Amino acid sequence: MIVLALLRSLYGRANSINRKFACCSPLVKRHLFMTYCAQLYGAQLWNSVSSGVLSKCRVAYNNCFRIILNLPRRCSASEMFVFRYTDTFDTRRRRLCYSFLERLFSSHNTIITRL
């Protein structure tokens, strides 16, 4: 399944960032996370994905943030994102879906408007 391949890729990118940029400041690491790990390509089309797979995606997103910032495994996810001004998985996915629908409805392409 494509979503599970995304999870493996996400963990790989997080470990790579952690290894290469271990000495950077938390602000730089946050920016790297947002650039390389928070891009959920195709998340707008995940409506047919089960809730269990979405839960695995959420856990992977949270764990990757912890890996990159060297946070303890048991720290609160909401606190972790709020104090670092970063979107949670659900917020990120919701924004991606909204922007996709906004572009879809504002399109002047006749094929797309017929959908």
The Cα–Cα gap between 60 and 11 comes to 7
Q: How far apart are CA 33 and CA 64, in angstroms?
A: 8
State the pLDDT at residue 58: 92
Whether residue 1 is predicted with pLDDT greater than 70 in this model: the reply is no
Specify the pTM. 0.86
pLDDT of residue 3: 79
Strands (E), 2-115: none
DSSP string, 85-114: T---HHHHHHHHHHHHHHHHHT---HHHHH
Q: Are 92 and 98 in contact (CB under 8 A)?
A: no
Task: Look at residue 29 and tell me whether its pLDDT is greater than 80.
Answer: yes
- pLDDT (tens digit per residue) in 13-26: 999 999 999 999 99
| For residue 82, pLDDT beyond 80 | yes
